[in-house]
Each structure stands twice: as structure tokens, then as C-alpha cells.
């Protein structure tokens, strides 16, 4: 059983920071004039891709070090310059100074995610779900993977071309550290998931199932295949974030994940 101590939290939040920076670098490479930017701050970073993108937030702040009020001010200036309210991920195992800095500045909880971890065994087997096949996506089907992710998140097959989830999914498949998995039911794309590999830790994310294929074990097949892929890559820990109390949380717990901590997105709305 993994224990969620500050060491494990630093490893997870450090991987999240590296992933956020990789998103920005990938965006800069694919669209040099797109305005993607990052600010290294307080042991983590603040990132911006484009308006309405869900990755526009600061991550990894205060892990193993104190956070100065001036550093929070720098994050706020970074987002103010881009016309956004500042948003900061708060890990409960971050240095207490982060909480002390956010409170007086009027931050409120905008979203809560439960972070789950699981030890990855050598030769981890993928669960067999009747009727569902999972395969790794390559460059030839990267667009299909991205569309499937967006369809699952949007809840319908007709996806707007400018949907942030679709734009982010396309970018995800261009990231060097990411592997995408696509699930099919009777040959039809039904769901997708991604995993980012860093220093033996696998971040499992973007798990998405198209509406017509829900409640058929697709998510279980995807997450199980992600664990098997993490094992084959030599990872010893896998991590996944879920909304509290949802179907995805039940699925990850059934696969042996255990709650490590709850991460809160702290948002300050400009008056």
C-alpha cells in the first residue's frame, strides 16, 4: 500500500509540472505564433496555451519549499496580462506558505480532483473485457484518437472544430512523453486514454468513452491497458485524477488504485 507522504506528492506534482511545460513546448513547436507561454515559479510553473484551454493554470507550487507572496503576485500578473483569472492547483501536501498566501488574496475553490495512485507490478496484465479491444495509437490514427477523446468529453459525436478538448487532444498526441490508447467495440472507436511517462511514474489522463459505449467496460479496459503499458515501460507507480464520487473513481478503485490526496484548483476572480 502506497502512503501519500510529501515525497510521493512531490514526485506526482513534479511530473504534473513537467507535463505542463511539455504541453507549452509542444504547442510552441506546432504553432510558434500561437502565444503559448510558461512561467517557472515557486518550484512549479504557470502555463497558458490559449483562452478557454483547461490547462491554463499554475501547477506544482510549494512542493518542498516555501512560497513567497511575491511569487503569487507573479502568477497573477502572468494571467492578468493574458486576460484570465489566475488559477492555481493546490496540493494539500504543499508547503503551508502556499495556503497562507492564497487565503488573504481572495482565492476560492473552483474544482476538486481526487488523486489516486497504484503500484505497478512487472508484467502487469491487461484486463480482458468481452467485446472491447485496446491498441496503441500511432501517428496514422492520432486524429482518430483525438476525435474519440473529444467526443467522449463533449457527450456527442458532432464535435465543434474549435472545441478546446479537441484542440488539446490533438496537442496531447504530439507530446514526446505521451502514449495514446484507443478502445474499439466491434471495430468501432469507443474510447481513448493517454499516459505520460516520467522517471518511472505514469500519469494516466484523458480517459474518455463515447456516449453510446458507456457502461460496457470500455473505461476499465482502457485503464487496465494503460497499467500494462506503464508496466512494460518500467514504471513502478501509476497516478490518475478523478472527480469525486463518479463512475471513473469507482473504476480506478476496482483496478487497485487508492486515494492519495485531494487536489483543489484555487481561482481568484478579478472584481
pLDDT at 63 over 60: yes
Examine the domain organization and report whether 102 and 12 are in the same domain: yes
Is 254 among the domain residues?
no
Rounded Cα distance, 171 and 180, in Å: 12
pLDDT tens per residue across span 68-90:
999 999 999 999 999 999 999 99
Is 54 among the domain residues?
yes
Kindly report the number of other CB atoms within 10 A of residue 12's CB atom: 24
Examine the domain organization and report whether 109 and 10 are in the same domain: yes
**In the chain, how many domains are there?**
2
Examine the domain organization and report whether 136 and 106 are in the same domain: no
Average of per-residue pLDDT across 153-179: 94
CA dihedral in degrees (138, 140, 141, 146; nearest 10)?
90
C-alpha triplet 194, 215, 149: angle, nearest 5°: 30
Is 127 among the domain residues?
no
Examine the domain organization and report whether 88 and 154 are in the same domain: no
Examine the domain organization and report whether 139 and 211 are in the same domain: yes
Q: Give pLDDT, residue 271.
A: 60
pLDDT tens per residue across span 95-127:
999 999 999 999 999 999 999 999 999 999 988
pLDDT tens per residue across span 36-61:
999 999 999 999 999 999 999 999 99
pLDDT at 233 over 80: yes
Q: Which domain holds residue 154?
A: 132-235
Examine the domain organization and report whether 203 and 139 are in the same domain: yes
Is 228 among the domain residues?
yes
Beta-sheet strands, E only, within 103-228: 108-119, 132-137, 178-185, 188-198, 201-209
Q: Give pLDDT, residue 121.
A: 93
**CA-to-CA dists, residue 67 to 25, 63, 100, 102, angstroms:** 25, 9, 9, 10
Q: Find the length of the chain.
A: 271
Is 218 among the domain residues?
yes
Q: Quick one: pLDDT band at residue 4, thresholds 50, 70, 90?
A: confident
Q: Quick one: pLDDT band at residue 1, thresholds 50, 70, 90?
A: low
Average of per-residue pLDDT across 2-23: 94
CATH number where 144 lies:
3.40.630.30
Average pLDDT, the chain: 95
pLDDT tens per residue across span 177-200:
999 999 999 999 999 999 999 999
Examine the domain organization and report whether 156 and 73 are in the same domain: no
Q: Quick one: pLDDT band at residue 262, thresholds 50, 70, 90?
A: very high
Is 195 among the domain residues?
yes
What cell was used for 50? 490559449
Examine the domain organization and report whether 18 and 106 are in the same domain: yes
97 contacts 70 by C-beta, under 8 angstroms: no
34 contacts 68 by C-beta, under 8 angstroms: no
Examine the domain organization and report whether 142 and 203 are in the same domain: yes
Amino acid at each position: 500500500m502506497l502512503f501519500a507522504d510529501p515525497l510521493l506528492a512531490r514526485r506526482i506534482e513534479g511530473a504534473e509540472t513537467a507535463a505542463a511545460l511539455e504541453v507549452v513546448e509542444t504547442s510552441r513547436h506546432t504553432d510558434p505564433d500561437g502565444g503559448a507561454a510558461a512561467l517557472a515559479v515557486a518550484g512549479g510553473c504557470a502555463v497558458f496555451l490559449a483562452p478557454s484551454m483547461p490547462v491554463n493554470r499554475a501547477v506544482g507550487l510549494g512542493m518542498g519549499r516555501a512560497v513567497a507572496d511575491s511569487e503569487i503576485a507573479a502568477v497573477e500578473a502572468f494571467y492578468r496580462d493574458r486576460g484570465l483569472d489566475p488559477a492555481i492547483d493546490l496540493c494539500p501536501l504543499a508547503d503551508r506558505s502556499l495556503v497562507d498566501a492564497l487565503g488573504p488574496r481572495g482565492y476560492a475553490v473552483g474544482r476538486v480532483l481526487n488523486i489516486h495512485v497504484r503500484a505497478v507490478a512487472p508484467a502487469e496484465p491487461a484486463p480482458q473485457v468481452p467485446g472491447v479491444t485496446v491498441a496503441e495509437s500511432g501517428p496514422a490514427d492520432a486524429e482518430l484518437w483525438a476525435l474519440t477523446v473529444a467526443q467522449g468529453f463533449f457527450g456527442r459525436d458532432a464535435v465543434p472544430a474549435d472545441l478546446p478538448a479537441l484542440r488539446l487532444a490533438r496537442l496531447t498526441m504530439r507530446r514526446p512523453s505521451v502514449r495514446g490508447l484507443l478502445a474499439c467495440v466491434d471495430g468501432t472507436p469507443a474510447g481513448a486514454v493517454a499516459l505520460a511517462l516520467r522517471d518511472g511514474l505514469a500519469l494516466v489522463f484523458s480517459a474518455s468513452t463515447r456516449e453510446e459505449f458507456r457502461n460496457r467496460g470500455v473505461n476499465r479496459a482502457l485503464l487496465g491497458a494503460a497499467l500494462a503499458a506503464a508496466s512494460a515501460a518500467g514504471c513502478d507507480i501509476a497516478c490518475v485524477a478523478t472527480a469525486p464520487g463518479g463512475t471513473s473513481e469507482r473504476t480506478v478503485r476496482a483496478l487497485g488504485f487508492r486515494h492519495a490526496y485531494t487536489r483543489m484548483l484555487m481561482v481568484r476572480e478579478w472584481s
